[in-house]
Chains A and B, each alone.
Chain A
Amino acid sequence: MNKIQLIIFAFFLFSLQCVSSANTKIYITTGFTSPVSDFYREVLSEADKRLKNISISFETLPAERSLVLANRGINDGECCRIPTLIINEYNNLVPVNESFFSARFSAFAKQDAIDIKRFEDLKPYSVGTVEGWKIAVKKVKAIKPAQTHIVTTPEQMFHMLDQHRLDYGIMGYLSGLQVITTLNMDNIKAIQPPLVEKPLFLLLHKKHKSLIPKFNKVIKHMKNDGTIDNLYRKLLVNLKQKHNG
């Protein structure tokens, strides 16, 4: 092999490398609504900046659709879920080990002074939850309350609470607060403490399994340098404080 051939081969490899780096675009969707989805977008935006040769695109979808599209490979990841709950149904998804957000599921109600601490406490009541909130749907179906309403959107559930068609509505604590704010339903409160709190993990389609270390690394780094905390405080804590008053 002479020099010219070596040069051409090296240029070819270089070209491949360049093309490969430029084409790694990752579509990540989420079923969460604002403000959690806003938090995810910011975190992933920061990760996008830090991950070389990886371009991250983020959008929100209906919760179940987000999972389906990621699992089918149409999208490349889903943010964020409790893997044990969905891994059997969506077995093409692989979790990134480093979690950067814990979800809290709370019961929302219009009335006060009801002592609800566990899901089982909801059994005598009319309980509703939102499709796509897996743990909530699963728990509600398990306890078999007096009435069960699994609605499509959080707005539906809060309207039903407002009109007393539900006694309790179960969904993510922060997402619920955002809906209350959006709908201006101040008469509806999140009952403290939350019924359950679980760490959520970024899920990637298995075809991107090789990217998991990179995501682990960058998330860990962002956790370590306080980026995630800053974003959390910036986007979520204010909302909590407002409702806690």
Chain B
Amino acid sequence: MNPLKGKISRVLVLYIVLFSSVVTVCLTSIQLYLDYEDGIDNIHQRINQIKLTNIDSITQSLWTIDYSSIQIQLNGITRIKDIVYVELTDETNKTIASAGKFNTRDTITEIIYLEQNYRGSDTAIGHLRIIATKENVYRSLIDTAVIILISQAIKTFLVSIFVLVIFYTLVTRHIEKIANHTESINLTSRSEPLILDRKSKLSKSNDELSRLANAINTMSDNMYDSYIEIIDKRLMLTEREAKFSAIFDSISDSIVFVDHQRRILQTNRAFEKQFDYKLEDLKGKTTKLLYANPEEYDEQGKKRYNQNSSPAPAVYEIMYRRKDGSTFPSETMGGAVILPDKSLLGFIGIIRDVTSKKRAEKETQLLQNQLHQAQKMEAIGQLTGGLAHDFNNILASILGYAELITNELTSNPDPKLKKYVDYITRGGERARDLVLQLLAFSRGAPGKPSAIFLPEIIDEVSSLIQPTMPASIQITVEIDDNVPQVLMDKTHMHQIIMNLCINARDAMQGNGKLSIRLRSKYYTKTICSSCSKPVEGEYVELSIEDTGSGVHPDIIDSMFDPFKSTKKIGEGTGMGLSVVHGILHKHDSHIIVETQKGMGTKFHILIPPYLGEPTSQIEINTDKTRINIKGNNTNAQVLIIEDEQAVAEYLHDLLEEYNFSATATTNSIEAIGIIQSRLNDFNIIITDQTMPGISGTDIIRTIHELNPDFPVILCSGYNDNIDEQQAIKLGFKKYFEKPINSQRLIQTLNDLLTRQ
């Protein structure tokens, strides 16, 4: 048993000693003070005793100037306890006698005035000074203090020991047991009850220790029950938190939760992935570092984080910045998080990266532009195609009859009439060329594509345009080696380069530099400037660059439209770029325009390289030399099916002039009847493609059903989706474009009749 083992015991002893010491000191002080007062009183009593017993005698001795008696009396006084010095002075303060040792330290001085009644009044005759020392008082006090302190110390020690033992027996050892028992309480299992080792009488009493033990037992049981309950609830809470975290993190949009000062408190996984930040990096920081534009952060703060009101849920577009500095557009839905007690918990922001959406919108816009452009070009093409068809029919009549008149004038010359007919013929031919350009725009010019080397074409065109250029315009040509061939009509290629060079010349207004460059280049994600379709892949790039005024932004989108010209009236038809557009897109080629006002223009012609074997160009016979084939066709019966009355009569007259027996009909239904009833009466049938109710394709199908080898010639005004190759494929023996070259038609008829 070690009562001092416990800290409480030591503290108890300490407090007992301290308290006892304080009490002892206080009581001792009081005792000493009382003793001091008593000692001082004793001194005063002795002085009073001196007054009572000695003063009269001394006064009498002094009155009688009995110095011996005075001295004896003073000596006697100094033998009284505590009296250390006595001095008698006369009325003039002259010392008459003294006894003892003069000392003023720790003394009490009493002065007694001596008076003698003389002649009825008290006469001062001197005074007696008595000095008493306090040394004895102090010595007595010290002795008293030492005795009290020692006795109190012994008493305190004994009481402390006694209290310790009692306290240990009654309290401390039980507290130790309670502490040990409490330390051994394990929440995971129900503890054994705490039973104190006490006498049975005490055990049964309901004192503090018993209540404490019972309380601990109850607490232990309650803790175990609570622990089980907490574990259950924690499991539920953990499960709920896990679900919430899973839901929170499974949301593909970034979520950030901030406090009322916009400091980040929580983010989800998508947020960390989106911004490339860890939550630990952001916690406590404001969302300002997420904003690509700090001003936007401040603006949002003013708008939505007003302290006087909670922001209503809203969706707004914000540009954010990732950790690596890259930015992305977002649609952010923000709102306040309000607790059930209406207090503001914070703000939540759901951030959706709309980069893809924006890109899709942009692409959609681009596609819409492309579609719009394509529709526009198609509409223009159809318009121009229709116009060409009608013009060709008209021109077929004009030029045809002009030719017949010319032929007539050969036998009956009339110079004036001949002059008029030539004007008609030249005007018709100019109109025909214009229609050809319209057709070249709308459907691509009919040509014979072949594998060509562009450097040769460039050399030829350069030499052709050089004379047309002012000396102040410098022409440079740069051609890379090993540029592949392209499949293109050579004449069309000439036309394209010529058109672009002439435009460049006109844009430079007589001064500048014209650069022609040829190279191979791989294009990605590029948009064709005329058709607005994406361009991607390896191309032969022919660039024609000028240092002119550039294309005005207002007309960039319509620069490839027909009849769009910035030149003065009469200086251009406005068909140059339209023809370029038509030709190129007929051959899966594209054109890229780079222009800036005042900084010149670059046209990049992109033509797919031709990787096959070199091909020979099919020469189109454009020889207008009249062929003399008259005389051998009197028995040849030719049926002409043409809805245009003028064209039908022209063809009829033309064939009659060349001794063919021609039958013309402008009614296609009637023509079908003729075919079905007396096909064998005819040697050759010439039909138009587009007619009311029935087409040339229907005609040949009907004919071939009766006689698959029957020769049929198709004449087209280019308003149909049919070209020469398709016509041959359908079984037509020959294909003619309006206006018809009369010589070639007669030659073809002769050839076909010869084969029969």
Contact = CB atoms under 8 A, between A and B. Distances in A.
Interface of A: 27, 62-65, 68-69, 72, 74, 131-132, 150-152
Nearest to B91: A72
B66 interface: yes
B64 A152 contact: yes
Contact of A131 (B63, B67, B119, B125): B67
Contacts of B68: 150-152
A221 to B, nearest CB: 30
Nearest to A59: B119
Given A69-B123, A132-B65, 15 more contacts: A63-B65, A64-B65, A65-B63, A65-B64, A65-B65, A68-B125, A72-B91, A74-B119, A131-B65, A150-B67, A150-B68, A152-B61, A152-B64, A152-B68, A152-B69
Nearest to B65: A64
Contacts of B90: 68
Given A152-B68, A152-B69, A62 B63 contact: yes
A63 B67 CA distance: 13
A127 to B, nearest CB: 15
Nearest to B70: A152
A176 B743 CA distance: 214
B126 to A, nearest CB: 10
Interface string B54-68: 000000010111111
Interface string B89-124: 011000000000000000000000000001100010
A74 B67 contact: no
A132 B63 CA distance: 12
Contact of B64 (A62, A69, A74): A62
Given A69-B118, A74-B118, A131 B123 contact: no
Q: Binding site of A, secondary structure by majority: helix, strand, loop or mixed?
A: mixed
Contacts of A152: 61, 64-66, 68-69
B365 to A, nearest CB: 140
Interface string B63-90: 1111111000000000000000000001
Contact-residue size bin, chain B (C-beta under 8 Å from the other chain): 10 to 19
A27 B118 CA distance: 12
Interface of B: 61, 63-69, 90-91, 118-119, 123, 125
A63 to B, nearest CB: 7
Contacts, number: 33
Contacts of A64: 64-65
Q: Which residue of B61, B64, B119 has the most chain A CB atoms within 10 A of its CB atom?
A: B64
B57 to A, nearest CB: 13
A109 to B, nearest CB: 22
A23 to B, nearest CB: 16
Nearest to A31: B65
B66 A131 contact: yes
A68 B65 CA distance: 10
Contacts of A151: 68
Nearest to A74: B123
Contacts of A72: 91
A151 B72 CA distance: 13
B24 to A, nearest CB: 59
Contacts of B91: 72
Nearest to A151: B68
A182 to B, nearest CB: 18
Contacts of A62: 63-66
A150 B71 CA distance: 13
Contacts of B66: 62, 131, 152
Contacts of A150: 67-68
Nearest to B123: A74
Contacts of B118: 69, 74
30 contacts: A27-B119, A62-B63, A62-B64, A62-B66, A63-B65, A64-B64, A64-B65, A65-B63, A65-B64, A68-B65, A68-B90, A68-B125, A69-B118, A69-B123, A72-B91, A74-B118, A74-B119, A74-B123, A131-B65, A131-B66, A131-B67, A132-B65, A150-B67, A150-B68, A152-B61, A152-B64, A152-B65, A152-B66, A152-B68, A152-B69
Contacts of B61: 152
Q: Which residue of B63, B69, B90 has the most chain A CB atoms within 10 A of its CB atom?
A: B63
B71 to A, nearest CB: 12
Contacts of A63: 65
Nearest to A152: B66
Contacts of B69: 152
A28 B44 CA distance: 42
Nearest to A150: B68
Nearest to B121: A74
Nearest to A66: B65
Give 10 nearest A-B pairs by CB, closest first. A64-B65, A62-B64, A152-B66, A131-B65, A65-B65, A65-B63, A62-B65, A74-B123, A65-B64, A152-B64
A122 to B, nearest CB: 20
Contacts of B65: 62-65, 68, 131-132, 152
B63 to A, nearest CB: 6
Q: Which residue of A27, A131, A150 has the most chain B CB atoms within 10 A of its CB atom?
A: A131
A207 to B, nearest CB: 17
A44 B125 CA distance: 27
A150 B65 CA distance: 11
Contacts of B119: 27, 74
A57 to B, nearest CB: 9
B525 to A, nearest CB: 142
A74 B64 CA distance: 16
A124 B63 CA distance: 33
A62 B91 CA distance: 17
A69 B61 CA distance: 15
A62 B118 CA distance: 13
A225 B125 CA distance: 41
A83 B118 CA distance: 25
B93 to A, nearest CB: 13
Contacts of A65: 63-65
A144 B68 CA distance: 18
Contacts of B63: 62, 65
B202 to A, nearest CB: 89
Nearest to B69: A152
Nearest to A71: B92
A69 B64 CA distance: 11
Contacts of A69: 118, 123
Nearest to B92: A72
Nearest to A64: B65
A151 B91 CA distance: 22
B115 to A, nearest CB: 12
A56 to B, nearest CB: 15
A1 to B, nearest CB: 44
A63 B69 CA distance: 16
Nearest to B67: A131
Contacts of B123: 69, 74
B89 to A, nearest CB: 13
A63 B273 CA distance: 131
Nearest to A132: B65
Contacts of B67: 131, 150
A74 B61 CA distance: 19
A225 B81 CA distance: 66
A152 B125 CA distance: 18
